[in-house]
Chains A and B, each alone.
Chain A
C-alpha cells in the first residue's frame, strides 16, 4: 500500500518534470511570434509574455502579490482553499440530489421518462449565462453569495452521479432481488439492504467525475458572478496583469489544478473507506 503510494507520487513528479521540460523545449524551438502549419495558425507564441519560463512561475509564488501584500503562494493557497470549500459543498449537495433523483427514477418508471430528458438538458444550458440568473433569484431569497456559487457546482456535479446511480441501483443480481422478494421485503427495505450497497461500485466513479465538475462549476460561477475570494476571480485579476507579470496567472492555474486534485483525492479516500470490504476489482 505504502510502496504503491510512493510509486504513484514518484510517477507524478516524473510526469510533472516531463511537462516542464516539454514547455521549455518548445520555448527554445517554437516561433517567438507564433506560426502556421499548412496555413493553420496553431503554433502558440513562445515569447516570455505568453509562455513564461517554468522557473519564473515558481519564482512568482515567492513574490508578493502586489506591493506590500503577502506572498503569492499564500494568496493562492487562500483562494484555492476558499474555492475548495465551495466545490466540496457543491459535491455534497450534488451527491444528495443526484442519488435522490436516481432513487426517484428507479422507483417510478414514469419519473425516469419524465425527468431524465430534463436532467440531460440541464447540462447543456450554458452555465456562464445561467449563473447571474441564479444569483439574482438566490439574492432575492437572501442566501449568502457563496451558497449559490456552490450550488452551481452542484448543478454540474449531480449529473454524473444520477446517471451512475440509475445504473447502479439496477445492478443487484437477479438472485439477490428474488431473495429479498422471498422475504416479502418492501421496496424501501430492498433499497436500503440491497440496492444501495450494491450500487457503491457505481457511485464512486460517478463522484470522481462529479468532483472535477463541481470545481469547474464553482470557478466559472465565481467568474461570471464576480464573487471575490476564490481562485476563479484571482485568475481574472492575475490575467489582467499579464503584461507586467506574465507568470502570475499561471500560479492561479496551478492552484486551480491542485484543488481539483485535492477534491478528487477526497473521493478516493472515501472510496477506500467504502470499498475496503469488497472483492478487489480494478477501479478507475
Chain B
C-alpha cells in the first residue's frame, strides 16, 4: 500500500475555546492525499481552507483529531522540513539576494556553502530565472518574486508543497502563466501539492482533485475529481471538459452555500 502524503483524520479546530471569541473554524475533517496528487482547497472566505493548510503545516495544532504527513506526525514533518510553503505574499527577504533567499531553508538545515550554491543554481534554472540570482527580490516583478518563492519552497526537494493563494495578488495574464509554470515545475520535481485558492478555474486547471468546503464551521462538502491529462496548456482552458468541471465545482460550491443556509435556518 502506498503511503499517503497527507492523512487527516477527524480534525477539528476551535479558536479561543471557552471564551466569548470562540470560533469553530473546522469540524471533523477527513482527507487523504496520495503522493503525486495535486489537491486544491476551495471555498468562500472563512471556510477554514487556510486553517486546514496550517494544520497540515503544523503551524496550528488541531483541537481534535490527527494529521499525518509522510506517515509521521505533522510536528515531526515540520522539524524534518518534509514540506515547502508559499504564501500570497512572497515573503522574500529584502536584504538577501535572490540566490540567498532560495538558500535560506538549506542554511537552516546546515548545508555547506558549496552544496547550497549548487542547489540554488539548480532551482534558479528550474524556475527559469538563472540570470537574476544576484538581483535583489524587490527589483523583480510580482510574478518573478512568486517564482522565487516557489523555488525557495522546493529548494530542499521536499515531497510536499503547501500553497496559500500564491497567485492571488497577480494579474490574470501572469496568473495563467504562473499556473502552467507551477505544473511544469511540480512535474519536474515530482511534488505533491496542496493548493488553497478561491478561483474556480485555477483550481480546476491545476488539480486532479478539488476539495470543496463550506464555512461556519469549515467542513468538506464535496470532492470533485478532475482529469485534464498530464499535458495541460492554453488549449486546455478552451476545452469542453474544463468548462464542464468548472460548472461541477461551481454547483458543488453553491450546494455548500445552500447547505449552509439550511443549517442556519435549522439553527433558529
Contacts and interface: CB of A to CB of B under 8 A. Distances in A.
Interface stretch (B4-12, B22-30, B80-88, B177-185): B80-88
B57 A182 contact: yes
B81 A183 contact: yes
A173 B90 CA distance: 10
Interface string A33-55: 00000000000000000000000
Contacts, number: 49
A183 B108 contact: yes
B93 A197 contact: yes
A184 B81 contact: yes
A181 B91 CA distance: 13
Given A184-B78, A185-B108, A278 B85 contact: no
Given A182-B57, A279-B138, A176 B108 contact: no
Nearest to A178: B59
Given A178-B59, A279-B138, A193 B104 contact: yes
B94 interface: yes
Chain B interface residue count: which class? 20 to 34
Interface in A91-109: none
A194 interface: yes
Interface string B125-156: 00000000000101000000000000000000
Nearest to A194: B93
B44 interface: no
A274 to B, nearest CB: 9
Contacts of B108: 183, 185, 189, 193
Nearest to B105: A183
Interface in A139-194: 173, 175-176, 178-179, 181-185, 189, 193-194
Nearest to B81: A183
B93 A182 contact: no
Given A182-B57, A183-B81, A184-B81, A278 B94 contact: yes
Contact of B136 (A179, A185, A197, A277): A277
Nearest to B84: A182
A179 B85 contact: yes
B59 A184 contact: no
Interface in B54-100: 57, 59, 78-79, 81, 83-85, 87-91, 93-95
Contact of B95 (A173, A182, A277): A277
A184 B94 contact: no
A278 B105 contact: no
Contact of A176 (B57, B59, B93): B93
A103 B138 CA distance: 28
A129 B56 CA distance: 60
B95 A197 contact: yes
B91 A176 contact: yes
A200 B105 CA distance: 22
Interface of B: 57, 59, 78-79, 81, 83-85, 87-91, 93-95, 104-105, 107-108, 136, 138
Interface of A: 173, 175-176, 178-179, 181-185, 189, 193-194, 197-198, 200, 277-279
10 contacts: A175-B88, A176-B91, A178-B85, A178-B91, A179-B85, A193-B104, A193-B108, A200-B95, A277-B94, A278-B94
When A and B form their complex, which 4 residue pairs have the shortest distance between CB atoms, in order from nearest?
Answer: A175-B91, A175-B89, A279-B138, A175-B87
Given A173-B89, A184-B78, A277-B94, 5 more contacts: A173-B91, A176-B93, A179-B85, A193-B108, A278-B94
